[in-house]
Structures are given as structure tokens and as C-alpha cells.
Amino acid sequence: MKWYILSSCLILSLLIIFVMNSTEVFFDRSKIPADDEQKGLKDQVVIRFSHVVAENTPKGLAAQKFAELVQKKTHGKVRVEVYPNGILYSDTDELKALQDGKIQMIAPSYSKLTDIVPSLEVLDLPFIFRDDRHVKAIFTGQVGRQLLGMVDQQQIKGMAFWSNGFKQMTSSQTPLIHPSDFKGQSFRVMPGKVITEQFNLLHAKPVVTSFNEVYQSLENHKVDGQENSISNIYSKRIYKLQKYMTISNHGYLGYIVIINQKFWKSLPPEIQDEIQNAMEETTVWILHESTKMNTIQLKEIKDSSPIQIHSLSNDEKKEWMKVFHPLYRDFNDEKSNDLIKKIQNTK
């Protein structure tokens, strides 16, 4: 009986080996579709995407969405790793890290790139954008493409403009309704000549600090106020430290998504196309999503905090515009004036 079982097992094993070998003859293994998920990890391209805001912000969510789309479109050949909240680099050192190839993608506010591309300064002009539709037309239209082209230098390549939202003013000292209310107060600003000059014209003191330091600067009363989008005021809990907020929509916080030039050139054309497609899809998504998010978060601020909110009336807006007018005059070169006209004439 024992011998019978052993010889049956042997015969069965031989049979299995024979069947497996014969299928090799009929099937060409190279034609079997590869499962990308199982591909050697060493073949996978990794894009490290670093940014300084929270995950529940327009940029944070867009970076995640972009990562998912890239994964899907390249069938896992490219993986985007997103590092939020400045955990890898703050906004003062992320550009250098990108240029040195330590990370491959960042999306700073365009104001932070004006040292390299001065033409971007026109986007910081107060009241240059009329509404979200206008922002979309500029970011995705001819002006956006023209500006992106200028970014292609010094180891960086411009990929897209992403939106966050209109900037609002806040203060711990007084309501900010008339330009004279700003006098003598200090405001945290991001770097950028136009932004700094905007506060000089209000006889206020602009103080440049990185985004990671905003909360502390307000908490320690190093500055009295700041300007930012609702989404950043909400996610950084800035509204908890400020008594007054003016819905002024005087400026726009937008981002320029950039990638390391050498890294980009090293990618095969078909992979570049897929990444570019994912970027375009994400850009359309964020333009819509950021508006929604700012509206919802403004309501949450109103509902959950004692901050006093004032919406600038048309007459008050005219007072502010009059004060800011010299900023437009300061652009006396042909290239900038041409850009300003194009933005203003875009429907």
C-alpha cells in the first residue's frame, strides 16, 4: 500500500513537470503582459514633490491628486512622493534643493520666484485679477504660457500655474478698512518687491518671513498682521490669533509648479507626455476646487471664531486702488507693460 502511494505521487509529479514544460513551447513568454505593480522597484522613477502647506489645502490636495494621476497614467512606472508642511524644505530653501536635484518638484507662490523671473511680479499687482474666472483665463491661457516659458532657466522648468485664492488682510490691532488704518502696523509678507512696496505705500512695515514661521510671528507679536488666502488663514489657524479680517481680495495667491530641468530631460518622451497630461488634469481640478474650498473655509471661520470680518465696499476698494496706483506706474519697461495690458484685456 505504501509503495502504491509513493509511486502514484512520483508519476503525478512527473506529469506536472511535463505539462509545464510543454506549455513553454506553445507560449512565447515575452508576449505575456507584464504586471506593472510587480515590476522591479529599481525601474520605477520617483519624483519627490515638496511643499510648505498643509495637506487639506488646495496645493496639498492638488499634489496628492497629481501623484495619483501620474501613478495611473504611467501604470506605476513613475511614483510621486509628496512631502507637505515643509517637512523636507522650507520655502526659503526649497528652490535651491530643487536646482541641486535633491527634490524634483516644488510649487512655490510665484512671488517667491520673482528674483529669477522678474516678469512674474505683475501677477502680484493689487487688484490685477477681477475674479476666479479671470485668474483661470490668465493661468491657463496665453499669458500663463508666456510666463511659464520665461521660467525655463537655471535648472528649472515651468509646468503649470496652480490656484489657491484671493488674499485677505488680517490684524490683531485694528479693523483694516481705510488705507490709513494700516499706518504703523507691521505685516508678515512673502518675498516679492511688489508685495513689500504695497505695504510701504500703506505706511505699514512689511516683514518677510517664511510660511512656516507665520503662526509664531503672530503669536509672539513680532508682527501685527498678515495677508493670505482664506485656505492658508484657516489651515494655519491664523484666524485664531487675529482680531480683524478684511475680505479685500486685493491680491491673488497662485503657484508656479516647477520641475528640475535635468531630471525632466532624462525622462523618455512618452513618460513626459503622461506627466504633462496628469499636470493639465490636476490644474483644471484645482482651479475649480480651490474656489470651493476657500468659500467653505470662510464659512467655518465665521461660524467658529470671534474674528471680526469686514467686506470691502466698492468705495473703500477705490480708496485702496488709489494708494496702490504708483505700483502700476513703477513698471516702466515695455515687456511688463505689455503683460499688464494683456492681463487687463483678457476676458
State the nearest-atom distance from the C-beta of 232 to ligand SIN, in Å: 5
**What is the Cα–Cα distance from 54 to 61, expressed in whole angstroms?**
9
Residue 231 to residues 88, 112, 250, 328, Cα–Cα distance (Å): 22, 18, 16, 28
Our finding on whether 278 is near ligand SIN (CB under 6 A) is no
Our finding on whether 168 is near ligand SIN (CB under 6 A) is no
Q: Is 156 helix (H, G, I), strand (E, B) or coil?
A: strand
For cell 505685516, the residue is 187
Our finding on whether 234 is near ligand SIN (CB under 6 A) is no
State the nearest-atom distance from the C-beta of 257 to ligand SIN, in Å: 11
Select the span of 51-59, 174-182, 283-291, 317-325 touching ligand SIN (CB under 6 A): 51-59
- Taking the least distance from each CB to ligand SIN, the nearer of 53 and 301 is 53
Alpha-helical regions (H) of the chain = 2-26, 58-73, 94-99, 132-140, 142-151, 193-201, 214-219, 230-235, 261-265, 269-304, 314-330, 334-345
DSSP state of 289: H
Select the span of 10-18, 52-60, 117-125, 278-286 touching ligand SIN (CB under 6 A): 52-60
Near ligand SIN by CB under 6 A: residue from 47, 53, 103, 123: 53
**What is the Cα–Cα distance from 257 to 277, expressed in whole angstroms?**
14
State the nearest-atom distance from the C-beta of 226 to ligand SIN, in Å: 8
Near ligand SIN by CB under 6 A: residue from 104, 163, 164, 248: 164
Burial class (CB in 10 A: 0-12, 13-18, 19+), 201: middle
**What is the Cα–Cα distance from 161 to 151, expressed in whole angstroms?**
11
Near ligand SIN by CB under 6 A: residue from 50, 104, 109, 163: 109
Please list, residue by residue across 85-97, b when 16 or more beta carbons sit within 10 angstroms of its beta carbon and e when fewer do.
bbebbbbbebbeb
**What is the Cα–Cα distance from 199 to 207, expressed in whole angstroms?**
10
DSSP state of 152: -
State the nearest-atom distance from the C-beta of 253 to ligand SIN, in Å: 6
Our finding on whether 190 is near ligand SIN (CB under 6 A) is yes
The total of other beta-carbon atoms located within 10 Å of residue 63's CB is: 27
Closest CA to 111 of 197, 219, 48: 197
Our finding on whether 232 is near ligand SIN (CB under 6 A) is yes
State the nearest-atom distance from the C-beta of 45 to ligand SIN, in Å: 25
Our finding on whether 119 is near ligand SIN (CB under 6 A) is no
State the nearest-atom distance from the C-beta of 307 to ligand SIN, in Å: 18
- Taking the least distance from each CB to ligand SIN, the nearer of 59 and 157 is 59
- Taking the least distance from each CB to ligand SIN, the nearer of 74 and 163 is 163
Near ligand SIN by CB under 6 A: residue from 47, 48, 49, 52: 52
**What is the Cα–Cα distance from 311 to 273, expressed in whole angstroms?**
44
Sketch the per residue contact string, 250 through 269, with ligand SIN: x for CB under 6 A, - otherwise.
---x----------------
Our finding on whether 235 is near ligand SIN (CB under 6 A) is no
Our finding on whether 139 is near ligand SIN (CB under 6 A) is no
- Taking the least distance from each CB to ligand SIN, the nearer of 52 and 169 is 52
Our finding on whether 294 is near ligand SIN (CB under 6 A) is no
Q: Which grid cell is 216?
A: 509664531
Residues contributing to the site for ligand SIN (CB under 6 A):
52-53, 59, 91, 109, 164, 190, 211, 228, 232, 253
